[in-house]
Amino acid sequence: MHTFIKEYIENKKDYFEQVSEYIFNHPETRFEEYESAHFLMTECERQGFTVERNIANIPTAFKATYGAGKPVISFLGEFDALPGLNQKPCATQQEQIEGMSDIGHGCGHNLLGTGAFAAACAAKAYLEENDLSGTVIFYGCPGEEGGSGKTFMVRENAFEGVDAALTWHPSPANAIMSLPTLANYQVSFHFEGVAAHAANSPHLGRSALDAVELMNVGVNYLREHIIQDARVHYAVTNTGGFSPAVVQPNAEVLYLIRAPKIDQVEGIYQRICKIAEGAALMTETKVTVEFHKACSNYVPNRSLEALLHKSFKTIGADEPTYEEKAYAKQIWDTFTQDEQDFYIDLMRGFGYIGDGSEFEGKHLSDSISDYKESEEIFFGSTDVADVSWVVPTAQLTAATSTLATPLHTWQMTAQGLSSFAHKGMLRAAAAMALTGINLLTSKEELKKIQDEFFQFQAKHPYRSPIGKDIRPTTLNGKKI
């Protein structure tokens, strides 16, 4: 079984690398991934999948299906990019691509989406080769970066009938992403005041910018009085203008509120809303709250993780080439001492188990980490979490970048088309495909996974953190 998968992936290596390159070279932000989604849907059809477009009323969400009947195994792919990360691939310094927008794949979603697509193709090929029943689905999942696309898809029952979901993420590590994550809300606070000349009639003005600043001060004081594992981030997205001689009549601040459980996020959110109301009272302005999106905390399925890890170990990791090692050293040298010192902690967040001794004198991971269950928290968020509440889910991470490479950086973007990144992408694809085939052919394995999931679900029924009236929002605030 694993020989078939490895040979299939190796024979299609050039094709999948070309898919990754296309997505990298057509970076698009959340819910506007029109070229990437269209390209992937077309390639799915060329590979023999039946494609359903506009899933959950999101134009760039889709479902590509092959086969019939149970079990139904899915692979989740992302393909959105990030603003401010235009970066020349395979460079060793920050260098933009001329003539391109400022968008770039600083989280490796060109690799993520292609790897999940490759896994689905490999699992499909095995079903065809062996004339087996069962269904393989590749989900095109837009808007992960700040949009929680999968949460909207879960809300609209897009994953109904799926028996298991597999996905992965690029990073410097080869490991099972076994840690629970933080739930979050993303909310804007719009303040409306009254404009006035700041010198000759300041008493007539009511400053919306003052309200934003007072709100931020209030939230800063709140931070001392929330649980330790919570996180509150903000960005002032509208300062009301560029003239200090005008009392700003409009201003806006965007908040991202995180905590281990969604009810904890809700509690902090309600307190922040009161602070916003207080800021409006102090400045005699009006505040409007706009809820953008949310996602739940990730619920690991330990039985599925163990199976995925077994597949990952079976696939294994290759020794990097001399050229890959040399390039990794150049990237390593761009990191600060603090970033270099943090690299083991960074990898542990992705599920790495160990003390780092196997990386002595190295700048790339060339081994698969051990696996153990852990209730430690990964202090980030993912919309994969909401899928994990309705479908047994597991995810791995494959090494696609130099040790210490943080996500959402020019270094991560620069490495996105490197040979080492593509090796990691195909390693992830093979491990997920092998796991998917095991689930398609072993009733015992699937039953163990589903028993664990149903036991959790019976005690913890899912409630969507996004209200029915909320629509996905693009980076520029457009509702889709």
**Domain closes at, from 267, 295, 323:** 295
Is residue 35 located within the same domain as residue 120?
Answer: yes
- What is the domain-level CATH number for residue 225? 3.30.70.360
Tell me what the mean pLDDT of segment 265-281 comes to: 98
pLDDT score at 457: 96
Residue 353: pLDDT band (50, 70, 90) is very high
In a domain, residue 53? The reply is yes
What confidence tens digit (pLDDT) does each residue in 303-341 have? Answer: 999 999 999 999 999 999 999 999 999 999 999 999 999
Token digits for 354? 């160990």
State the burial class of residue 373 (Cβ atoms within 10 Å of its Cβ: 0-12, 13-18, 19+).
exposed
Is residue 370 located within the same domain as residue 450?
Answer: yes
Residue 241: pLDDT band (50, 70, 90) is very high
What percentage of the chain reaches a pLDDT higher than 90?
98
In a domain, residue 73? The reply is yes
- 459 Cβ contact partners less than 8 Å away, ≥ 6 residues apart: none
Quote the domain boundaries for residue 204: 183-295
pLDDT at 1 > cutoff 90: no
pLDDT score at 240: 95
- The pTM score is 0.96
Query: 108-142 burial, b for 16+ CB within 10 Å, e for fewer?
Result: bbbbbbbbbbbbbbbbbbbbeeeeeebbbbbbbbb
Q: Tally the domains of the chain.
A: 2
> Measured between alpha carbons, how far is 443 from 451 in angstroms, rounded to an integer?
12
- Name the average pLDDT for the chain: 97
In a domain, residue 7? The reply is yes
Is residue 309 located within the same domain as residue 455?
Answer: yes
Is residue 242 located within the same domain as residue 343?
Answer: no
In a domain, residue 364? The reply is yes
pLDDT score at 174: 98
Residue 195 near residue 249 (C-beta atoms within 8 A) = yes
pLDDT score at 146: 93
pLDDT score at 375: 86
Residue 2: pLDDT band (50, 70, 90) is confident
pLDDT score at 213: 98
Residue 175 near residue 352 (C-beta atoms within 8 A) = yes
Least confident of 42-56, 158-172, 373-387: 373-387
In a domain, residue 467? The reply is no
pLDDT score at 185: 98
> Measured between alpha carbons, how far is 297 from 265 in angstroms, rounded to an integer?
10
pLDDT score at 134: 98
Strand bridging mode 286-295 / 134-140? unpaired
> Measured between alpha carbons, how far is 15 from 426 in angstroms, rounded to an integer?
11
**Domain closes at, from 249, 270, 295:** 295
Residue 103 near residue 79 (C-beta atoms within 8 A) = no
What type of residue is 185? Answer: Y
Is residue 398 located within the same domain as residue 268?
Answer: no
In a domain, residue 478? The reply is no
In a domain, residue 261? The reply is yes
pLDDT score at 104: 98
Give the 3-state secondary structure of residue 90: coil
Residue 370 near residue 336 (C-beta atoms within 8 A) = no
> Measured between alpha carbons, how far is 367 from 174 in angstroms, rounded to an integer?
7
**Domain closes at, from 244, 270, 295:** 295
CA distances from 305 to 122, 202, 234, 327 (A): 20, 62, 34, 32
pLDDT at 404 > cutoff 90: yes
Is residue 116 located within the same domain as residue 204?
Answer: no
> Measured between alpha carbons, how far is 40 from 59 in angstroms, rounded to an integer?
13
What confidence tens digit (pLDDT) does each residue in 128-154 have? Answer: 999 999 999 999 999 999 999 999 999
pLDDT score at 142: 98
Is residue 71 located within the same domain as residue 212?
Answer: no
Is residue 23 located within the same domain as residue 90?
Answer: yes
Peptide bond into 71 cis (omega under 30): yes
Least confident of 27-31, 140-144, 352-356: 352-356
- What is the domain-level CATH number for residue 333? 3.40.630.10
Is residue 70 located within the same domain as residue 217?
Answer: no
Is residue 134 located within the same domain as residue 198?
Answer: no
**Helices and strands (H and E) in the chain: how many:** 16, 11
